[in-house]
Amino acid sequence: MTTLSSEQICLVTQICSTFGVGLFGNLGISGSIGTGSLCEGITQAGGVFVEGGAGIAGSGSITTDGEGGNSLLKGIIGIGIGIGGAGGVISCFSRTFCFN
Protein backbone atom coordinates (compact mmCIF):
# COMPACT_ATOMS: atom_id res chain seq x y z
CA MET A 1 0.00 0.00 0.00
CA THR A 2 1.13 3.51 -0.76
CA THR A 3 0.83 6.28 1.84
CA LEU A 4 -0.74 9.34 0.25
CA SER A 5 0.45 12.94 0.23
CA SER A 6 -1.77 15.82 1.37
CA GLU A 7 -2.04 17.17 -2.21
CA GLN A 8 -4.10 14.25 -3.52
CA ILE A 9 -7.88 13.94 -3.73
CA CYS A 10 -9.20 10.53 -2.71
CA LEU A 11 -12.50 8.63 -2.88
CA VAL A 12 -13.12 5.99 -0.20
CA THR A 13 -15.80 3.29 -0.59
CA GLN A 14 -16.66 1.05 2.33
CA ILE A 15 -18.63 -2.18 2.85
CA CYS A 16 -19.37 -3.26 6.41
CA SER A 17 -20.91 -6.33 8.03
CA THR A 18 -22.31 -6.33 11.55
CA PHE A 19 -23.08 -8.94 14.18
CA GLY A 20 -25.11 -8.08 17.24
CA VAL A 21 -28.52 -7.97 18.83
CA GLY A 22 -31.56 -5.93 17.89
CA LEU A 23 -33.49 -4.87 14.83
CA PHE A 24 -33.09 -1.46 13.21
CA GLY A 25 -34.07 0.21 9.95
CA ASN A 26 -32.91 3.68 8.88
CA LEU A 27 -33.02 5.93 5.84
CA GLY A 28 -30.72 8.93 6.03
CA ILE A 29 -27.22 10.28 5.51
CA SER A 30 -23.89 9.38 7.08
CA GLY A 31 -20.38 10.77 7.24
CA SER A 32 -17.08 9.79 8.79
CA ILE A 33 -14.13 11.33 10.56
CA GLY A 34 -10.80 9.72 11.35
CA THR A 35 -7.17 9.95 12.30
CA GLY A 36 -4.14 8.36 10.65
CA SER A 37 -2.94 8.42 7.08
CA LEU A 38 -4.88 7.17 4.06
CA CYS A 39 -3.34 4.38 2.01
CA GLU A 40 -4.41 3.64 -1.55
CA GLY A 41 -5.79 0.13 -1.92
CA ILE A 42 -7.90 -2.15 0.28
CA THR A 43 -7.82 -2.05 4.10
CA GLN A 44 -9.76 -3.95 6.76
CA ALA A 45 -10.95 -2.52 10.08
CA GLY A 46 -13.11 -3.71 12.95
CA GLY A 47 -14.82 -2.30 16.01
CA VAL A 48 -18.23 -1.66 17.58
CA PHE A 49 -21.53 -0.11 16.44
CA VAL A 50 -24.78 1.16 17.94
CA GLU A 51 -28.03 2.21 16.21
CA GLY A 52 -31.36 3.37 17.60
CA GLY A 53 -34.35 5.65 17.61
CA ALA A 54 -37.99 6.01 16.70
CA GLY A 55 -38.78 8.71 14.15
CA ILE A 56 -35.49 10.65 14.13
CA ALA A 57 -32.84 7.95 14.45
CA GLY A 58 -29.08 7.84 14.71
CA SER A 59 -26.26 5.38 14.29
CA GLY A 60 -22.55 5.31 14.99
CA SER A 61 -19.52 3.06 14.83
CA ILE A 62 -15.88 3.18 15.82
CA THR A 63 -13.33 1.04 13.98
CA THR A 64 -9.55 0.67 14.24
CA ASP A 65 -6.95 -0.56 11.76
CA GLY A 66 -3.35 -1.19 12.78
CA GLU A 67 -1.97 -2.46 9.45
CA GLY A 68 1.60 -1.51 8.63
CA GLY A 69 2.16 0.13 11.99
CA ASN A 70 -0.35 2.90 11.15
CA SER A 71 -2.99 3.35 13.80
CA LEU A 72 -6.27 4.44 12.22
CA LEU A 73 -9.31 5.38 14.28
CA LYS A 74 -12.45 6.13 12.31
CA GLY A 75 -15.94 7.06 13.47
CA ILE A 76 -19.01 6.88 11.26
CA ILE A 77 -22.14 8.77 12.26
CA GLY A 78 -25.53 8.85 10.62
CA ILE A 79 -28.91 10.48 11.11
CA GLY A 80 -32.26 9.97 9.43
CA ILE A 81 -35.70 8.46 9.85
CA GLY A 82 -35.77 5.02 11.47
CA ILE A 83 -37.09 2.73 14.17
CA GLY A 84 -35.61 0.10 16.46
CA GLY A 85 -32.30 -0.46 18.14
CA ALA A 86 -29.22 -2.63 17.70
CA GLY A 87 -25.60 -2.93 18.82
CA GLY A 88 -22.63 -5.23 18.39
CA VAL A 89 -19.41 -5.65 16.45
CA ILE A 90 -18.65 -4.34 12.96
CA SER A 91 -16.11 -5.39 10.31
CA CYS A 92 -15.40 -3.14 7.31
CA PHE A 93 -13.43 -3.31 4.07
CA SER A 94 -12.45 0.05 2.57
CA ARG A 95 -11.15 0.72 -0.94
CA THR A 96 -9.31 4.01 -1.52
CA PHE A 97 -8.87 5.52 -5.00
CA CYS A 98 -6.73 8.64 -5.38
CA PHE A 99 -6.24 11.22 -8.11
CA ASN A 100 -3.36 13.65 -8.61
Which residues in the chain show pLDDT less than 70?
A: 1-7, 35-38, 66-74
User: Looking at residue 69, what is its pLDDT?
Assistant: 43
Predicted pLDDT at 36: 66
| CA-wise closest residue to 63 among 74, 77, 55, 50 | 74
Residue type, 91: S
Q: Provide the pLDDT for residue 26.
A: 78
Q: For residue 88, what pLDDT is reported?
A: 92
pLDDT of 7 reads 67
> What pLDDT sits at residue 63?
81
